[in-house]
Structure 1
């Protein structure tokens, strides 16, 4: 091999090694430089497993289901208990079963922060209750009575709607709203009725005047529905 060819070979090897070293020595900042001028906006990775409930911690309505209520628990009790969560009576709905015994309450919170605050409050002073997450569909299914309806329990089997109307004499109510039905009881089925009133005041007046009064030969128990 001629000296000229040996020189060219050695020179090429040195250039290759130098080029590799220079490329490895290029700062990361310069190697990333072309990406800064990309016309395509980079999209953050989407995690489909992230719970949407956790994605908007500060805004948007959040729904919860409160367990541990009794038939004596009022919506005002819950609003007062969760003071600081910015709730109104319209943000609470009672969930009744078919016999109109309350099995829970649905609560609408103005934000995730308010829901978290309610969890802390219940943990401190409301240990009789348990607050669970719920969704909007559970809230929408419940129709609130808002204290404008009364449940009549113990209506005689042979009583007619006219008998119920006579029982409510002296009260302001919607006669067309009277709904009489049977529900399972401890021993025998119990005949009940719901009646709507024009206002909470009229419903409460009916409760005060007629609770434990008699329809035919049966004593009737009244309860204002929330």
Structure 2
């Protein structure tokens, strides 16, 4: 009987020895590799000025810039705000009814980039004025992207047929052709009260048209060609 008891105890100890190692293994070692990795932060993250990481989940910040010259280009603004993560699609020119530029709309990726831009303005002697605007003001401002061509200098309002002859051989969107009334912008012929705009198929072709057709005659008048940004 005692041998049977000893045998039973031996079997029981053997079973406990088999189970014990599992009890001592930390639970974390059974988690998958994906569970052990930290979840990536929500939203897009990018390095800000100063080496910090920006969280763009808050959305972009919009500003209006004043004080620039009439011949300023989008690339000039991007160079001015170097390090503020601006591209040409983040810059819009606001024009008055005579197509004279009156302000620049800017779209910054985050508040920190906007603040960096204001510091750059201070550093450069406050030659420009930058203030915040709403996203609605940005949305309603038309972006010409260097594809809109402006014609000035007409002594009378041209017919569509006359314009089509003037534009013959040029690749443009016929549905975008518009004849407008109003005084031309400063620096153009004062008597130019009729303006024409249309969209070229690309910014490169718009620039080529300006080079080829500037001061060409249409209905016996020299026509001044500008490209809107």
Q: What SS is found at the alignment partner of 1:184? A: coil
Distance of aligned partners of 1:90 and 1:200 in 2 relative to their CA distance in 1, 3 Å threshold: same
What is residue 107 of structure 1 aligned with on the other side? 106
Task: State the alpha-carbon separation in 2 of the partners of residues 87 and 116 from structure 1.
Answer: 13
Q: What SS is found at the alignment partner of 1:195? A: strand
Task: State the alpha-carbon separation in 2 of the partners of residues 154 and 168 from structure 1.
Answer: 15
What is residue 5 of structure 1 aligned with on the other side? none
Q: Deviations over 1:152-174 (max 9, x none)?
A: 01123152111112112232112
Asked if 1 retains the 8 angstrom alpha-carbon contact of 2:154 and 2:194, the reply is yes
Q: What SS is found at the alignment partner of 2:113? A: helix
Q: CA deviation at 1:133?
A: 1.2
What is residue 149 of structure 1 aligned with on the other side? 148
Task: State the alpha-carbon separation in 1 of the partners of residues 84 and 135 from structure 2.
Answer: 18
Distance of aligned partners of 1:218 and 1:119 in 2 relative to their CA distance in 1, 3 Å threshold: same
Aligned residues: 171
Q: Deviations over 1:12-62 (max 9, x none)?
A: xxxxxxxxxxxxxxxxxxxxxxxxxxxxxxxxxxxxxxxxxxxx9984311
What is residue 63 of structure 2 aligned with on the other side? 64
What is residue 89 of structure 2 aligned with on the other side? 90
Task: State the alpha-carbon separation in 2 of the partners of residues 181 and 152 from structure 1.
Answer: 10
Q: Deviations over 1:160-197 (max 9, x none)?
A: 11111211223211222110111035865611000111
Q: CA deviation at 1:102?
A: 0.6
Q: Which runs of 5+ in 2 are unaligned?
A: 1-53
Q: CA deviation at 1:203?
A: 0.6
TM-score (norm 2): 0.69
Task: Judging by fraction of residues, say which structure has more strand.
Answer: 2
Q: Tell me the C-alpha RMSD between the 2 structures.
A: 2.1
TM-score (norm 1): 0.70
Task: State the alpha-carbon separation in 1 of the partners of residues 190 and 200 from structure 2.
Answer: 31
Asked if 1 retains the 8 angstrom alpha-carbon contact of 2:155 and 2:192, the reply is no
Q: CA deviation at 1:225?
A: 0.6
Task: State the alpha-carbon separation in 2 of the partners of residues 211 and 189 from structure 1.
Answer: 15
Q: What SS is found at the alignment partner of 2:170? A: coil
Q: What SS is found at the alignment partner of 1:177? A: strand
What is residue 200 of structure 2 aligned with on the other side? 197
4+ residue runs over 6 A deviation? none
Q: CA deviation at 1:144?
A: 0.2
Q: Which runs of 5+ in 1 are unaligned?
A: 1-55
